[in-house]
Amino acid sequence: MLLGNRLMPFVLLAGILTAVVFGQMATTSAQAATWKCTESSHCYALTEWHMAGCSAECIDGGVADITSQSASVPNWEKGAFVTNEMWASTNNEGWVETGQVAGNGVDCCSEHRFFAGETTNNLNYYEYDQPGAVPLNEYHSYVLEDLKHDGVWEIYWGYENTDWTLAHEYGGYWTHIDDLEAGMEGSDNSQPTNEGIQMLAGIWGSPDSWHPWEGVYKKVTFSASPATCISQLAGSWPGNASYHTPC
Amino acid sequence: MPKIRNIRAWLMIGVLAGLIAAAVQVVGTTAASSTAAAAQELPGTASPPAGPELTLAQVQAAALKFAAIAHEPNPTAVSVARGSFADAQALVDGNAGADTSPAAGTAGAAASEPVFLVVMHGDFTLNAPRPKGAAEPAGSVMGLILDAHTGFPEGRYVGVEEPQLKALGPVTQLVEQ
């Protein structure tokens, strides 16, 4: 008992260190690599859900709650950027996306909500960046959906899943999606910094409701470019993740 | 043997304490962030910008800067018109069948806020957010929506369609053909 008492502080310290080390190992897929991307060849750390296609499986939309914790873009004046966001598409015919962007010719580090889309014929791209900056360490909510199945994709912005605003509508698109991706995108010749957390949902059903990113045929996967990391949040829905660069 | 059992017990307690400490740290951080966030003003609800508007020289400088970012340092036939944000966006967002009423797409910015819409011609390749594997948006026309007061680049269009600037307001040519 005496020996136990003397050792107790060391044992507690060992326990904490064990927990920290174990936690790091369990939640981080560190990649000892250097940043290899440029302003035109982008890096990504993604949760990807490539569905089986509408003959088997496709859905009506996606939800991403995003918390940005830091961002810094060295070559922001040249248009370099980092984003924390979600993309939706079908058959790789155009896309719509929304989330938060830093850099992009504005400044190094402030985050702005944005949406963008390229038409299905891949001929026209339009992007809107909101002037007011989004504070770090808040979670902001983003929805891409076409509940009417009329090819008009509605983009909603919210704050902690309340205060929803219709940010935009992109028309002339597909009526369902079979590809959802979410995470960070980095465009810079030099290593930027970025750190975020995302909580995801897919939209389908009758009536439409929010579900995990997990289908009957296809599950989510993670991908990370060199010097970026992404990892599943333990005990959370599939694809809910933290990500950062550098690793 | 009792001592060994004690050490094992302390080891168990130590690991548990470590896990609880880590969990408390995570929960505490999240809770603190949420509380702080709730006390702050929502983004996009601030007062609209005021003060003097950009001069045409400033508009041209901003337009050429973003054209250069889009790999076109020498755009031609650069024109500008002034109007509301909602009207400018409706001219460049490439919609087909979507609701382009002022209420849709303003995202906290007042639909009636004054902006400059600049239309440029050249060979543009925009370094833009895009899905993994997608090509960079490219086209012969670039549109840029600038906040009339701050110059903030609210909208960027690259494509092949010509926005009808005349529908927004009187057109001024900044750079000749």
Assess whether B63 and B35 both reside in one domain.
Answer: no
Give the pair of three-digit tokens for residue A82: 């980092």
The size of the A-B interface in CB pairs under 8 A is: 228
Residue B156 covered by a domain: yes
Give the pair of three-digit tokens for residue B94: 């490439």
The reply to whether residue A166 touches residue B104, judged by beta carbons under 8 angstroms, is: yes
- CB contacts, 8 Å: A85 with chain B: 129
Chain B nearest-CA distance from A225, in A, is: 10
Assess whether B12 and B71 both reside in one domain.
Answer: no
Residue B83 covered by a domain: yes
CA distance A162 to A26: 32
Neighbour-count burial for A104-113, b at 16+ CB within 10 Å, e otherwise: bbbeebbbbb
The reply to whether residue A4 touches residue B9, judged by beta carbons under 8 angstroms, is: yes
Radius of gyration for the alpha carbons in chain B, expressed in angstroms and rounded: 26
Report pTM.
0.81
CA distance A28 to A195: 13
Give the pair of three-digit tokens for residue A165: 């605003």
The reply to whether residue B155 touches residue A128, judged by beta carbons under 8 angstroms, is: yes
Give the pair of three-digit tokens for residue A178: 């079979």
Length, in residues, of chain B: 177
Assess whether B11 and B69 both reside in one domain.
Answer: no
Task: Work out the pLDDT band at B8, boundaries 50, 70, 90.
Answer: low
Residue B26 covered by a domain: yes
Q: Across the interface, which of A113, A129, A150 has its CB nearest the CB of B43?
A: A113
Q: How much is the average pLDDT of B101-110?
A: 48
Closest CA to B72 of B141, B135, B156: B141
- pLDDT on residue B110: 63
Assess whether B68 and B153 both reside in one domain.
Answer: yes
pLDDT at residue A29 greater than cutoff 90: no
What lies within 8 Å, CB to CB, of A175 at 6+ separation is A146, A149, A150, A151
For A40, the closest chain B residue by CA position comes to: B127
CA distance A74 to A90: 34
Strand arrangement of the beta sheet that strand B153-159 belongs to: A221-224, A43-50, A179-187, A81-89, A95-103, A111-118, A124-134, B153-159, B138-147, B114-125, B76-84, B171-175
% of chain B at pLDDT higher than 90: 55
What lies within 8 Å, CB to CB, of B78 at 6+ separation is B60, B63, B64, B67, B118, B119, B120, B121, B173, B174, B175
Assess whether B63 and B36 both reside in one domain.
Answer: no
The reply to whether residue B159 touches residue A19, judged by beta carbons under 8 angstroms, is: no
Average pLDDT of every residue of chain A: 88
The reply to whether residue A118 touches residue B130, judged by beta carbons under 8 angstroms, is: yes
Residue B97 covered by a domain: yes
Assess whether B67 and B33 both reside in one domain.
Answer: no
Q: Which residues pair with A55 in a beta bridge?
A: none
Assess whether B92 and B168 both reside in one domain.
Answer: yes
Assess whether B35 and B69 both reside in one domain.
Answer: no
- pLDDT on residue B6: 58
If one counts the domains in chain B, the total is 2
Of A9-23, A203-217, B99-113, highest mean pLDDT: A203-217
Q: Across the interface, which of A19, A139, A159 has its CB nearest the CB of B18?
A: A19
Assess whether B18 and B96 both reside in one domain.
Answer: no
- pLDDT on residue B35: 31
Assess whether B158 and B97 both reside in one domain.
Answer: yes
Closest CA to B163 of B135, B140, B138: B140
Residue B47 covered by a domain: no
Chain B nearest-CA distance from A211, in A, is: 22
Task: Work out the pLDDT band at A173, boundaries 50, 70, 90.
Answer: confident
Give me the half-sphere count of Cα atoms (radius 13 Å) on the Cβ side of residue A101: 28
Q: How much is the average pLDDT of B118-143?
A: 95
The reply to whether residue B95 touches residue A169, judged by beta carbons under 8 angstroms, is: yes
For residues A68 and A136, the answer to whether their CB atoms sit within 8 Å is yes
CA distance B119 to B142: 6
Assess whether B18 and B93 both reside in one domain.
Answer: no
For residues A241 and A198, the answer to whether their CB atoms sit within 8 Å is yes
Chain A nearest-CA distance from B26, in A, is: 12
User: Cα dihedral angle (A161, A180, A85, B91), rounded to 10 degrees?
Assistant: -100
Residue B19 covered by a domain: yes
Chain A nearest-CA distance from B88, in A, is: 12
- Which residues of chain B form beta strands (DSSP E)? 76-84, 114-125, 138-147, 153-159, 171-175
For B42, the closest chain A residue by CA position comes to: A159
- pLDDT on residue B109: 54
For residues B119 and B73, the answer to whether their CB atoms sit within 8 Å is no
Q: Are strands A81-89 and A209-211 parallel, antiparallel or unpaired?
A: unpaired
Least confident of A59-68, A82-91, B93-102, B106-115: B93-102
- CB contacts, 8 Å: A14 with chain B: 11, 14
Residue B135 covered by a domain: yes
How far, rounded to the nearest angstrom, does the alpha carbon of residue B92 sit from its chain's CA centroid?
15
Could you tell me the residue range of the domain that residue B33 belongs to? Answer: 1-40
Higher pLDDT, B27 or A40: A40
Chain B nearest-CA distance from A52, in A, is: 18
Assess whether B12 and B79 both reside in one domain.
Answer: no
The helix (run of H) or strand (run of E) holding residue B3 is helix B2-38
Q: Across the interface, which of A39, A105, A171 has its CB nearest the CB of B153?
A: A105
The reply to whether residue A168 touches residue B7, judged by beta carbons under 8 angstroms, is: no
- pLDDT on residue B3: 47
CA distance A45 to A196: 11
Residue in A100, A119, A122, A124 to test binding to B, most B beta-carbons within 10 Å: A124
Residue B99 covered by a domain: yes
